[in-house]
């Protein structure tokens, strides 16, 4: 048996993961006089945080709490106590105290004024250490240390660490190169928790349709995307859609991708539909085509469509309608133009896969919320065990939702863990 490292022998609170949830939990526990030890398997803290928002770090948004929770769907109410502990305004005040000014340039999405995630990561790191937290990099939790059904601490790659309070903030499976994995689920299962099958979310989608490759790099802003299955909300999601070499991405697609991934676990493909010009009905397009016949009979349909769509997308959609790149409005038949109007408002895509865990910003699934107390984020299976962040079965759309959840749940779990006493459990 390996000799134990003295500095890892004991802690008031053990926290698994040095992301935003873990570091916020360590700060909260430290502010309440608990000596926290944070275990991070990578050689740097907050690797996914550093990559968030393309490095800009969309921290949260300005939505009121009710609308914010609604973004997480039917399970959103679970986060109410965590938001009470740290809502968006509270997060901005906390970061301001740590020297990180924030702003909302579009009135909705909140970023650090620096537009650099590293300023947030560095501030959390400094504050956690100032509160007495010891962050152990390159150390992985391998299992719960249990004796007689009671939590004694963790078994790690550096030996056993004694603690009566453990916060699992190990994240989900996305971006394994940035620390994503299944270690948090392993610890939860050891305590008797149910894991809702993890699937990629906020992830680009792969289409069977070969024509999308000709549009790679083109973005339609805005577009509307929806899943064309009976019973699914026809309203879908409106936002930017980006065409890739393999399919589609962009905010509107990413926000649908979790639902698509779950469906792909049950069926071979998922039908998606795009409205490339929300607010313009098919009948309006037909009227526009007729006007082109009169006013601009010598210009090609694709050239005229180019005013409304990226050239490559205009050409691809016209081609699907049977209209070649040089065909003029006066040369296009009524049937082809009618087909074009339909495609512009209801363009079909057959989704056959996601881009997978290497490109998934968030994990859908995780520790079942039924087995976690929302008031404290404490395990209902094992006293002294708490959860925070993405390891739980709760995910939201893009736009600051998931990072806010990480900060809020980290703070609540840290507060609750600091107050926990094994003697009273």
pLDDT digits (tens, 9 = 90+) for 147-178: 999 999 999 999 999 999 999 999 999 999 98
Closest CA to 36 of 97, 127, 144: 127
Q: Look at residue 35 in the predicted model and tell me its pLDDT.
A: 94
| 167 and 320 Cβ atoms separated by less than 8 Å | no
Question: Would residue 184 count as lying in a domain?
Answer: yes
Q: Is 409 inside a domain boundary?
A: yes
Tell me whether residue 1 is in a domain.
no
Q: Mean pLDDT score of the chain, rounded to an integer?
A: 95
Tell me, letter by letter, the H, E, C secondary structure of 320-389.
Answer: HCCCCCCCCCCCCCHHHHHHHHHHHHCEEEEEEEECCHHHCCEEEEEECHHHEECCCCEECCCCCEEECH
318 and 377 assigned to the same domain: no
Q: State pTM to two decimals.
A: 0.93
What is d(CA 52, CA 173) in angstroms, rounded to the nearest whole number? 15
Give the residue-averaged pLDDT of 227-254.
92
Given pLDDT bands bounded at 50, 70 and 90, which one contains residue 233?
low
Examine the domain organization and report whether 133 and 47 are in the same domain.
Answer: yes
Domain shared by 130 and 155, yes or no = yes
pLDDT at residue 87 in the model: 97
Token readout for 60 is 């949260």
Q: Examine residue 401 and state whether it is found in any structural domain, yes or no.
A: yes
Residue 14 located in a structural domain: yes
Q: Does residue 424 lie in a domain region?
A: no
Q: Are residues 79 and 153 in the same domain?
A: yes
Give yes or no for a contact between 14 and 166, defined as CB atoms under 8 angstroms apart.
Answer: yes
2 has pLDDT over 70: no
Average pLDDT (4-28) is: 85
Query: Quick one: 170 and 219 in the same domain?
Result: no
DSSP conformation letters of 402-418: HHHHHHHHHHHHHHHHH
Same domain assignment for residues 213 and 169: no
Q: Other CB atoms closer than 10 Å to residue 229's CB: what's the count?
A: 12
Residue (of 136, 111, 114, 112) closest to 45 by Cα position:
136
Token pair for 361: 């910003």
33-74 confidence digits (pLDDT tens): 999 999 999 999 999 999 988 889 999 999 999 999 999 999
Residues 6+ apart with CB under 8 A from 307: none
Residue with tokens 């065909």, as numbered in its chain: 327
114 assigned to some structural domain: yes
Picking from 20, 28, 14, 49, the residue whose alpha carbon sits closest to that of residue 361 is: 49
210 belongs to a structural domain? yes
| Integer Cα distance of 243 and 195 in angstroms | 34
Q: Is the pLDDT of residue 293 over 70?
A: yes
pLDDT tens digits for range 253-282: 999 999 999 999 999 999 999 999 999 999
pLDDT in tens, 128-150: 999 999 999 999 999 999 999 99
**Together in a domain, 73 and 129:** yes
What is the number of other CB atoms lying within 10 angstroms of the CB of residue 368?
15
The residue from 308, 340, 355 where one domain ends is: 355
Residue 6's pLDDT band, with cuts at 50, 70 and 90, is very low
312 and 163 inside one domain: no
Asked whether residue 179 falls in the same domain as residue 265, the answer is no
> Does pLDDT of 93 surpass 50?
yes
Measured in residues, the chain has a length of 425
Domain boundary, last residue among 304, 325, 355: 355
- Whether a cis peptide bond, with omega within 30° of 0, leads into 222 is yes
**Domain endpoint, select from 355, 382, 397:** 355
> Quick one: tokens of 227?
């899943």
Token readout for 62 is: 């300005």
How far is the CA of 397 from the CAs of 28, 73, 181, 239, in angstroms? 26, 10, 21, 12
Instruction: Answer yes or no: do 210 and 90 share one domain.
Output: no
Question: What are 275's two structure tokens?
Answer: 């409205």
Report the pLDDT value the prediction gives residue 161, as an integer from 0 to 100.
Answer: 94
310: containing domain: 204-355
Report the number of distinct structural domains present in the chain: 2
Same-domain pairing of 194 and 212:
no
Name all contacts of 96-103 with Cβ < 8 Å and 24+ positions apart: 98/123, 98/124, 98/126, 98/127, 99/123, 102/59
CATH classification at residue 49: 3.50.50.60
């Amino acid at each position: 048996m390996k000799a134990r490292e003295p500095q890892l022998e004991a802690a008031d609170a053990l926290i698994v993961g040095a992301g935003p949830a873990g570091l916020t939990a360590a700060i909260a526990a430290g502010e309440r006089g608990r000596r926290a030890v944070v275990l991070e398997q990578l050689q740097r803290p907050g690797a996914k945080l550093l990559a968030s928002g393309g490095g800009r770090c969309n921290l949260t948004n300005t939505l009121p709490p009710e609308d914010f929770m609604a973004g997480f769907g039917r399970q959103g109410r679970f986060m109410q106590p965590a938001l009470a502990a740290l809502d968006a305004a509270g997060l901005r005040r906390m970061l301001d105290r740590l020297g990180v000014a924030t702003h909302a340039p579009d009135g909705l999405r909140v970023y650090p004024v620096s537009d650099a995630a590293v300023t947030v990561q560095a501030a959390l790191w400094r504050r956690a250490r100032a509160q007495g937290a010891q962050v152990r990099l390159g150390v992985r939790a391998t299992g719960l240390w249990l004796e007689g059904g009671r939590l004694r601490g963790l078994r790690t790659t550096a030996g056993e660490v004694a603690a009566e309070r453990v916060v699992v903030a190990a994240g989900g499976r996305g971006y394994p190169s940035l620390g994503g994995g299944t270690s948090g689920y392993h610890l939860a299962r050891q305590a008797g928790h149910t894991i809702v099958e993890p699937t990629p979310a906020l992830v680009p989608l792969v289409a069977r349709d070969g024509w999308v490759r000709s549009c790679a790099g083109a973005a339609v802003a805005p577009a509307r995307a929806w899943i064309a299955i009976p019973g699914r909300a026809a309203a879908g999601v409106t936002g930017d859609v980006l065409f890739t070499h393999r399919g589609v991405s962009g905010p509107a697609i990413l926000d649908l991708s979790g639902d698509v991934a779950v469906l792909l676990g049950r069926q071979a493909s998922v039908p998606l539909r795009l409205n490339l010009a929300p607010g313009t009905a098919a009948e309006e397009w037909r009227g526009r085509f007729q006007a082109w016949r009169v006013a601009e009979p010598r210009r090609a349909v694709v050239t005229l469509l180019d005013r409304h769509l990226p050239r490559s997308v205009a050409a691809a959609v016209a081609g699907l309608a049977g209209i070649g790149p040089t065909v003029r409005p006066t040369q296009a038949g009524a049937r082809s133009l009618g087909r074009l109007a339909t495609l512009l408002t209801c363009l079909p895509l057959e989704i056959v896969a996601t881009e997978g865990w290497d490109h998934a910003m968030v994990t859908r699934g995780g520790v079942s919320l039924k087995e976690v107390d929302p008031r404290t984020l404490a395990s209902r299976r094992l006293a002294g065990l708490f959860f925070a962040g993405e390891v739980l079965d709760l995910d939201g759309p893009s736009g600051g939702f998931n990072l806010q959840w990480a900060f809020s749940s980290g703070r609540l779990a840290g507060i609750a863990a600091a107050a926990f006493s094994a003697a009273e459990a």
